[in-house]
Structure 1
């Protein structure tokens, strides 16, 4: 399939410093993280020369290294552990795919609303931040999809407001990871805005975006928001892990807004996209992908094929 008509330029690849000072919430594992490629724990993935040959020429040099933008406050995809290392499902997956390609990298931790700007500015080469692959984002980006997820409505344990579905959010204050610039909207923020244009038009949701998921979820605990809309995998993780598992719960029992997640590249970065698609497919085929999913209790969203832009 076509990945865009612009030929990938031989742009300089630079690693920016960490600019994140992430909020901590109870037992939620977030914080300022290092930008080291030593974060992941996979060691048994071998380089495949035929896949390495798919990389752009300058990235086949032994000294080559790429910068990977992430936001480390989003467990179980990426978060900072007690040792200050960025860990998680997506970290392990990106590490395995990169080792298959024989490509070194550094993670660069930053707030959500900086990720896309840093990608556009070529300060990072790819974003790995549990980003939803949507038609709107495909206008200027290409995604290598690696997982299927849906949305979760996070509420206090016991669900005192009796929230069960998206329509129940009408007229309520709701927190969400996102930004004030449309380029920084998450798919959850976009979903809330769409509700205000339709089902909640007469009684709109008061939507407040935050730079990290932890900050958004903290509003629910503090009582300044009745709910938070987040990705299901992250919501389910936090419901179990924060405190003793008795602070939050996922309110919805029905699947809402199912969407693939993917590594995000600039439109036209054809060689990188093809290389990472092939690498992810390779670790799907040899069982490494299934092992990583099982390690993080995420097998429910497994893909059979590593797709580009959902196709």
Structure 2
């Protein structure tokens, strides 16, 4: 625990017995997933744990469906969401993000890419699976309003990334649109690494990911931003990234709502 960082917490969170609740969805490796022992692990889990340890703040994970996370945050049943969530201007209207990583989108296809898909425009007229209520689902909607008006994408939404990816494997979808880091992980890990591949080589929809808080939780946001910055500064962040093979998306500064601290 760092006393200077702990002093940034709201007064009610400084009591020894205090424990916050963190909402997550544990089906999204390498950010969060359940290991063989039934424990939630992953890059974002390690990072949140390190930041919380600096603050001396205890927490409990609440594992729930992706599309329940924000309702639970708004209802104050969870204090923060840690679920590889993209920090967008639309979400900043009623939430604040402490950004910890840069990511982009991946088009997942069967190994060998039999349909020759390489770009978002190549998805026009095809069936594409996606996790419900994500920026990737929004990207497909935008695609249908623009480049794919003549031949719209048939968007298939699912409650988990694993369900969406399974549609590709079963031949019920031509592709899945997901986050790059998760797509690259699954391309390497599923089967012997010969079931799926990432089709795109160009960066699609780059965006920061962040811990999501209720708008107005200023002290809690500031505390986690400062704690994350201390982890970046002393090299702990780089070690966690390297452990999960995610160094390519490293941030140099822990930002709030994709803006440098004032």
TM over 0.5: yes
Aligned residue in 1 for 2:51 = 97
Inter-partner Cα distance in structure 1 for 2:247 and 2:148: 34
Q: 2:188 aligns with which of 215, 240, 246?
A: 240
TM-score (norm 2): 0.98
Q: 2:217 aligns with which of 269, 272, 283?
A: 269
1:164-194: per-residue Cα shift (whole Å, max 9, x none)? 000000011100011xxxxxx2110110000
Q: Which runs of 5+ in 1 are unaligned?
A: 1-46, 179-184
SS at match of 1:308: coil
Q: 1:251 aligns with which of 190, 199, 202?
A: 199
1:74 pairs with 2:28: yes
Q: Which runs of 5+ in 2 are unaligned?
A: none
1:124-174: per-residue Cα shift (whole Å, max 9, x none)? 000000000000000000000000000000000000111000000001110
Aligned residue in 2 for 1:112 = 66
Alignment of 1:131-142 (within 5 A): 131-142=85-96
Inter-partner Cα distance in structure 1 for 2:249 and 2:255: 14
Aligned residue in 2 for 1:64 = 18
Runs of 4+ in 1 over 3 A off after TM superposition: none
Aligned residue in 2 for 1:305 = 253
Query: What displacement does 1:209 show?
Result: 1.1
SS at match of 1:62: coil
Inter-partner Cα distance in structure 2 for 1:250 and 1:51: 40
Query: What displacement does 1:267 show?
Result: 0.4
1:75-107: per-residue Cα shift (whole Å, max 9, x none)? 000000111000000000000000000000011
Q: Which has the higher strand share?
A: 2
Paired residues, what number? Answer: 259
Inter-partner Cα distance in structure 2 for 1:230 and 1:71: 15
Query: What displacement does 1:202 show?
Result: 1.0
RMSD: 0.4
Inter-partner Cα distance in structure 2 for 1:107 and 1:94: 11
Aligned residue in 1 for 2:155 = 207
1:285 pairs with 2:233: yes
Query: What displacement does 1:208 show?
Result: 1.3
Aligned residue in 1 for 2:244 = 296
